[in-house]
Structure 1
Amino acid sequence: MIDYSQFPDRTILCIDMKSFYASVAAVDRGLDPLTCYIAVVGGTDRQGSVVLAASPALKRDYKIKTGSRLFEIPKDPKILVVNPQMNLFIKVSTEITKLFYRYVPPSAVHSYSVDESFLDVKGLEKIWGDARSIAKKIQSDIYNDFGLPCTIGIGPNMLMSKLALDLESKKAPDGIADWTYDDIPRKLWPVKPLSEMWGIGKRTERTLNNMGIFTVGQLANHDLKLLEKKFGIMGNQLYYHAWGVDLSKVGAPIIQGQISFGKSQILMRDYTDEKEIKAVVLEMCEEVAKRARTAKKAGRTISFALGYSKDELDGGFHRSRTVEKPTNVTMDIYNVCLQLMKENYRGQVVRSISISITKLVDDYEMQLDLFDQDGWKKRELGYVVDKIRNKYGSAALLRAVSYTPAGTALHRARLVGGHKG
């Protein structure tokens, strides 16, 4: 058994805006976000556009959800299909964050995403009441000020509040769930499939299933040394998360070992020309490298995936390669992707690309290599290009491939959050 007395016992709220994009779009049009049928899609002019958000009623009555496609939405006059308004969404998200400051200082707020935030309210009981009272006040303020519904999970740490949110509050009558360490065996351990638990993806779930682990309880009671042998540091985290243990502070990533920098893109059309595919791969490597440099990080493991068109018999491939020296240089990442592409790609029709770097280290110093004497120049050139783009815009400097019909960077530079403003 775990001795929870040795772990922090905070009071963390995890606040999730219900179907945020769809709800904001509904309120902007004078509609009730809980009862109207509205879908926000990547672009109303393309039948293959992805549904970015669907209102609760649309999910319930028509089974349309985030990730569905535009052509799957019934041709019903009651259903409103709209383009994203990213500038509006970001503005509302910013104002909601300011609302949190009525209750807690900025240092006690962590914006996990545009529609989800963590608040540490420990010690505020004498001012606002207990955790559930604070949650109700915030929930009421958000609805009164913005007309938007939200759900809230409460827990002794960030992980527990997130689990309370995902596994209970979204089904609770008042949209609020409060979990304590005592609730772990009754509420968390029965959870299956394992991918229902935040932090466990389908791939990890399959590996755990092959080990005979199908519920969170079985994971919590598995041999820790065997998990660490199989997953490394992630095995340790999986084990302790199954016990509800999380040492992260508000503002820090919940799963430290999963930090990576990546970019995934669903292409606007099918790509059949290998040169065109490589052009997009180069653009994406540039963006991944920039994200790593912005954080002053470099990575040793480069992952590359191609997803094929639905008409192909094979769905695609995902491969990784670890290099000797950590890098955040665009062409280093690109060359590894080309190697993986040469080894695995056989001319299929490509519709999605994904690139990421992991096994990160701080990039504050560089060991010189006698066999790559210009390595430091390539590294510094990346930082110089980043400064120019940060000052004058992402389209200020683009590679030549971005001006070809294959390129996507020029189009994406005009978007906000990957979508129309």
Structure 2
Amino acid sequence: MYENMPNRNIICIDMKSFYASCIAMIEGLDIEQVPLAIIANFNQPGSVVLAASPAMKRRFRIKTGNRRFEIPNHPDIRLFEPKMSFFLKMSMAITQLIAKYVPPEAIHVYSVDESFIDLTGTEKLLGSPEEAAKKIQYYILQQFNIASSVGLGPNMLMAKLALDLEAKKTGFARWTYEDIPKKLWPIKNLSDVWGIGRRTEANLNDSGIFSMYDLAHTNLATLEKRFGILGNQLYYHAWGIDLSTLGEPMVSGQISFGKGQMLMRDYKTRTEIAVVILEMCEDVMRRTREAGFIGRTVSLGLSYSEKADTKGFLRSLTLNEPTNETMTMYKACLQLFDMHFAERPARQVTVRISNLEPTTSVQLDLFDSKKEQRHMLGHTMDAIRHKFGSTSLLRAVSYTASGTARSREQLVGGHLR
């Protein structure tokens, strides 16, 4: 099966406790000794812990995802708000350091603290792939005092699996195709595997698939019938096969545009929540237009306050015609909202457009004479915002008490600059 499969030397490198390490560098602290945590917003008792130092995790059992009110009142604990601009600068500096040893095109930045690097062809300069990986780890540690974990594999998927499932505990791990039966197939918590979320895991369980071995040995046609293109991907990933290359979307054919927002207070009424939905649709459709796509499937997710007595929802609606118009997406979201809203206080909203096609595939509608005008208006608004800033042109609802667009303009990645 693997004779004609990619067999390169690709590493996935993850910066350990990246946010905490950056703050520790500024403050002159040792994250192994000082229990520190980064809190999204000091003004919110329920604000999320974005990062915690190893000492905080060991001594107080506080980790990413905990809430501020769960942190004990202890004199040794140091709390900080995020400095997202600095975090991004540090991430770029680390990437620039790596680029001194490998060509820039061999680096694929996956997130602020994680990158893929193709080491194929660097043997004369850096030695074997294992030696090269450990040298890069050493250089980062020496210059930035940030430790890292590395997974090495023959493709991007295998490198990521080696990182997530082994190297984050050991510091370094190499996986080959021969390791799949003994290292990947025994895994039973499917959502531990990169690319499989909890909803997908539940759907796989409903289909009688309870381990990666089960997934690898399920009939491919059955998976494709049940899950579509995702079923094809899941099957081959269970065998460690990944044909994507650096720079390509990680899941070919599954591109979408979305936005999620944690609300800073309970939004209780349809009117309040609709304001946030409209602002988010505006942002998502702007990015969709700029990328040259139209989408057919609209998704809306809503999570309620932790005081609510019911769970939230995530539902989708497929339109008759693909679109990149803000109001079309907004109306579809409202339709989903009115069908599923349980009239409980909302604390998180997610919107997404998927099932994409190139904009060139859009068709004129003889019965909608203003379609082309709306299309031009959308691009005109995008151009103004691109030149003068995202808040230079806002809908009136953004100036109401429910609007969040103006306050979020002061943030980077949803957090303080």
- What range describes the TM-score normalised by the shorter chain of this pair? over 0.9
1:308 to 304, 311, 315: 304
1:218 to 214, 219, 226: 214
Q: Is residue 366–residue 376 contact of structure 1 (8 Å, CA) maintained in 2?
A: no
1:246 to 222, 242, 258: 242
Question: Could you tell which deviates more after superposition, 131-140 or 251-260?
Answer: 251-260
Tell me what 2:273 maps to.
277
- Distance of 1:286 and 1:185 partners within structure 2: 46
Q: 1:59 to 1:376 in 2, by over 3 A?
A: farther
Q: Is residue 309–residue 315 contact of structure 1 (8 Å, CA) maintained in 2?
A: no
Aligned-residue offset at 1:346: 3.6
1:167 to 151, 162, 165: 165
Matching of residues 17-416 of structure 1 within 5 Å:
17-172=15-170, 175-416=171-412
- Distance of 1:26 and 1:379 partners within structure 2: 49
State the Cα deviation string for residues 379-408 of structure 1 (Å, max 9, x = none): 222222111111111111111111100000
Amino acid at match of 2:400: T
Q: Is residue 322–residue 362 contact of structure 2 (8 Å, CA) maintained in 1?
A: no
| SS in structure 2 of the partner of residue 205 of structure 1 | helix
Amino acid at match of 1:326: P
In structure 1, runs of 5+ residues without a counterpart are: none
Identity over aligned residues, as a percent? Answer: 53
- Distance of 2:377 and 2:132 partners within structure 1: 50
Q: Is residue 325–residue 378 contact of structure 2 (8 Å, CA) maintained in 1?
A: yes
Amino acid at match of 1:82: F
- Distance of 2:346 and 2:367 partners within structure 1: 36
State the Cα deviation string for residues 125-150 of structure 1 (Å, max 9, x = none): 12110111011111011111111111
| SS in structure 2 of the partner of residue 315 of structure 1 | coil
Amino acid at match of 1:271: Y
- Distance of 1:95 and 1:346 partners within structure 2: 47
- Distance of 2:389 and 2:26 partners within structure 1: 29
- Distance of 1:238 and 1:57 partners within structure 2: 37
Aligned-residue offset at 1:170: 0.8
Q: Is residue 304–residue 319 contact of structure 1 (8 Å, CA) maintained in 2?
A: yes
Count matched residues: 417
- Distance of 2:32 and 2:384 partners within structure 1: 45
- Distance of 2:121 and 2:73 partners within structure 1: 52
- Distance of 1:176 and 1:297 partners within structure 2: 40
Aligned-residue offset at 1:365: 4.9
TM-score, normalising length from structure 1?
A: 0.97
Aligned-residue offset at 1:22: 1.2
State the Cα deviation string for residues 225-269 of structure 1 (Å, max 9, x = none): 110000001100000000000001011122113321101111010
| SS in structure 2 of the partner of residue 387 of structure 1 | helix
| SS in structure 1 of the partner of residue 415 of structure 2 | coil
Q: Is residue 51–residue 70 contact of structure 1 (8 Å, CA) maintained in 2?
A: yes
| SS in structure 2 of the partner of residue 267 of structure 1 | strand
State the Cα deviation string for residues 35-88 of structure 1 (Å, max 9, x = none): 321111111121111111111222233222222111111111211111000111
Aligned-residue offset at 1:106: 1.1
Amino acid at match of 1:15: I
- Distance of 1:373 and 1:118 partners within structure 2: 48
State the Cα deviation string for residues 257-296 of structure 1 (Å, max 9, x = none): 3321101111010011221111111001001111212211
Aligned-residue offset at 1:305: 1.3
Q: Is residue 15–residue 117 contact of structure 1 (8 Å, CA) maintained in 2?
A: yes
Amino acid at match of 1:183: D
Question: Could you tell which deviates more after superposition, 210-219 or 193-202?
Answer: 210-219
- Distance of 1:213 and 1:346 partners within structure 2: 32
- Distance of 1:398 and 1:376 partners within structure 2: 22
Aligned-residue offset at 1:162: 0.4
- Distance of 2:162 and 2:102 partners within structure 1: 21
Amino acid at match of 2:77: I
Amino acid at match of 1:59: K
TM-score, normalising length from structure 2?
A: 0.98
| SS in structure 2 of the partner of residue 364 of structure 1 | helix
- Distance of 1:53 and 1:376 partners within structure 2: 47
- Distance of 1:376 and 1:150 partners within structure 2: 51
Amino acid at match of 1:321: L
Structure 1 stretches of 4+ with a deviation exceeding 6 A read: none
State the Cα deviation string for residues 197-240 of structure 1 (Å, max 9, x = none): 00000011011111111111111011111100000011000000
Amino acid at match of 1:114: V
Amino acid at match of 2:221: K
CA RMSD in angstroms comes to: 1.1
